[in-house]
Structure 1
Amino acid sequence: MTKSKHFLEKYGILLAFIILFAIMAFMRPRTFLTVNNQLNIIRQVSINGIMAIGMTFVIITGGIDLSVGSMLAYASIVACSFAHPGEYPLYIPILVALGIGAVLGCVNGTIVAKGKVAPFIATLGMMTVARGLTQLFNGGRPINNLSDEFNFIGGGSLAGIPLPVIIFGCIILFGWFLLHHTRFGRYVYAIGGNETTAKVSGINVNKIYIQVYTLMGLLSALSGIVLSARVETATVIAGTGYELDAIAAVIIGGTSASGGKGTIFGTIIGVLIMGVLSNGLDLIGVSSYYQQIIKGIIIVGAVLLDKKK
């Protein structure tokens, strides 16, 4: 392998982000480069970023989770029913949301591991079930009138840094440590590289699958808390299409769609690329319809590059 090829494989995604950032800055320097706009980009990507960290674990195992948007919606709408002013302390809606996410994720993992159902099919079923549960919970009506303490999670800031960004940063550190510095992380890579070899090596593959999808459910619920707190309401359509953004960020970030390879750093860059692209195209005035086409082309291109490695 030549030095230039090795450099591109290791830092190509970072280089792509720098080039994209420079292009957007050149086209709209007075608006794109402002501090407020940069904070807005990070605040916007934090919700997708939290889910993308979990999706990194899932895809490295060779799986996929299409239910994250629906789990987000169900966890958030149930949690918000406990977040009205003067009714329950703040930790109640948070624990309710995380509990729902963990249970739904565990169900996904159990179906994949014990039922030997393909992750695509298992999570597609959960996507439909969770969305239906969301619509049933409050008769399709949104839940608002949330407490100031709850809304602070999505709209507040500490030392000038938006709280969603702080939460995202904590999840990045947690995901990085878990994936790159624990036995669990090594097992995740091993299963994605070769499941049969992992079993022969003594790894409890089913247990790891269940833990990975449970983690995904937890992070989906956390994203739901941040989202509903930010918009100060929970709706039945919350999280629609979020699974595609999370998957796109992970794939663009260099995680192999076939499993066994990927990094938290790459996912972060993938999330930022998606955020800068959307923000820049909005500032330029590109229609959201064209933005979807551009994102789709980028996803397919990232997969094709992965195949050629």
Structure 2
Amino acid sequence: MQPRSEFSTGASSPGTAALAQASTPPAAKRGKSSVQWMFQNVVWLWLAALVVVFGVLNPFFFTLSNLQNVLVQATVLGLLALAVSLPLMVAEIDLSIASNMGFSAAIGAILTTRLGLSPAVGVPVGIAAATAIGFFNGLCVTRLKMVSLIQTLAVMIVLQGTLLAVTQGNTISDMPNPYIWIGQYTVGNWPVMPIVFLVALIGMGFLLRKTVLGRCLYATGGNALAANSAGIRVNRIKIVAFTLSGLLSGVAGYLLAAWQMAITSDQGEGFLLYAIAAPIIGGVSVFGGRGGAMGILGGVLLLTVIHVGLAITEVPSFYVQMIGGILIFIAVAVDAIRVNFVSQ
């Protein structure tokens, strides 16, 4: 029989750990579980609090028309948030999504309005152009080993300049009804456009949780070297992520043009930072390997409610951006605290 001292290994032994866990008071366990639940759902709690505040400040916020307005505005931002989430999940970033959105929409509109092609041709061509740009970004990052932050920044600047040159600084507004129908059509006074975001969100959730590609995205973002050692083609997964990001950007560009019934020379420039902030607030890690569709939805709704709520509460325009930035900062800070708490 071994001496008793050889069995005294401190808190690291399984028996001691189990004993310590068993000795933890039930009240403490419940308290820790409650705090953990609160941090895991902080986006939705923050969203509910803002809805109450804005509703108290202006009862119009609770009206059906304002709800429809929130859903419509969340559609374009939501698609862009999904687009930027895919590169983020593989530990990359795409800064060209907003410019890609505007440029691809302009291509589809020009083919339809100036060349007389059917929207059934112009719209898919525009979305295909956005997808090709995403594919090009993926090739540059994986094959040429370019830093995604700088490479997509360069593409963003090029697309902004190209859009300005193509439109000659003018607004394209003479779009036919078949082009803009999805942005204006309603069923029982409910806009149809948010259905596209809903379908994309369900598709993203299915992709991430139920497919091999989704597991490969998480594995690549979590540890690219380990994923490569496990037989995952990391470069191919990254190219797919950037390509799908471009596809979603193209769809968002078409919906924005159909909703606004116009394309300006700076189309989409105001969406980039919010599109990046939304998934990060919703739990997508900038270091890759973490995030989900429901979190992205929470981040999108939170930013949309902030934007709409500040607008209808008659906050002076020169304070709106500042207050919105402060609220976003608080949301991101709370999310950072949540991540640290969960990791502990």
Task: Calculate the TM-score normalised by the size of structure 1.
Answer: 0.94
Determine if contact 1:106/1:214 at 8 Å carries over to the other structure: yes
Q: For the pair shown, which has the larger CA radius of gyration, 1 or 2?
A: 2
Determine if contact 2:74/2:301 at 8 Å carries over to the other structure: yes
Distance 2:90 2:322 in 1: 28
**What count of residue pairs does the alignment treat as equivalent?**
308
Q: Which amino acid aligns with 2:36?
A: H
Matched residue SS, 1:254? coil
1:291 deviation in Å? 3.0
Q: Identify the match of residue 183 of structure 1 among 202, 212, 221.
A: 212
Q: Which amino acid aligns with 1:131?
A: Q
1:289 deviation in Å? 3.9
Compare 295-304 and 178-187 and name the one that shifted more: 295-304
Matched, 1:236 2:265: yes
Q: Which amino acid aligns with 1:308?
A: N
Q: Identify the match of residue 13 of structure 1 among 39, 43, 48.
A: 43
Matched residue SS, 1:81? helix
Distance 1:118 1:67 in 2: 13
Structure 1 unaligned segments of length 5 or more: list them. none
Determine if contact 1:44/1:275 at 8 Å carries over to the other structure: yes
Q: Which amino acid aligns with 1:11?
A: N
Q: Identify the match of residue 200 of structure 1 among 229, 249, 270.
A: 229
Q: Deviations over 1:170-196 (max 9, x none)?
A: 111111111221111111111111111
1:53 deviation in Å? 1.3
After superposition, residues 120-269 of structure 1 pair within 5 angstroms as 120-269=149-298
**Residue of structure 1 in register with 2:86 after alignment:** 57
Determine if contact 1:57/1:179 at 8 Å carries over to the other structure: no
Distance 2:275 2:316 in 1: 21
Q: Identify the match of residue 333 of structure 2 among 264, 288, 301.
A: 301
**Residue of structure 2 in register with 1:274 after alignment:** 303
Task: Calculate the TM-score normalised by the size of structure 2.
Answer: 0.85
Matched, 1:92 2:124: no
**Residue of structure 2 in register with 1:80 after alignment:** 109
1:82 deviation in Å? 2.1
Q: Which amino acid aligns with 2:297?
A: I
1:86 deviation in Å? 10
Matched residue SS, 1:53? helix
Evaluate the alpha carbon distance shift between residue 291 and residue 190 of structure 1 in structure 2; reply closer, same or farther with a 3 A threshold. farther
Evaluate the alpha carbon distance shift between residue 120 and residue 226 of structure 1 in structure 2; reply closer, same or farther with a 3 A threshold. same
Distance 2:299 2:186 in 1: 25
Determine if contact 1:143/1:234 at 8 Å carries over to the other structure: yes
**Residue of structure 1 in register with 2:10 after alignment:** none
1:303 deviation in Å? 5.9
1:135 deviation in Å? 1.6
1:302 deviation in Å? 4.9
Q: Percent identity?
A: 31
Distance 2:236 2:219 in 1: 13
| CA RMSD in angstroms, aligned pairs only | 1.8
Determine if contact 2:76/2:252 at 8 Å carries over to the other structure: yes
Compare 250-259 and 67-76 and name the one that shifted more: 250-259
Distance 1:158 1:87 in 2: 29
Determine if contact 1:73/1:224 at 8 Å carries over to the other structure: yes
Structure 2 unaligned segments of length 5 or more: list them. 1-28
Distance 2:314 2:255 in 1: 28
Determine if contact 2:109/2:123 at 8 Å carries over to the other structure: no
Distance 2:107 2:220 in 1: 34
Distance 2:223 2:325 in 1: 29
Distance 1:78 1:289 in 2: 34
Distance 2:206 2:57 in 1: 38
Evaluate the alpha carbon distance shift between residue 120 and residue 303 of structure 1 in structure 2; reply closer, same or farther with a 3 A threshold. farther
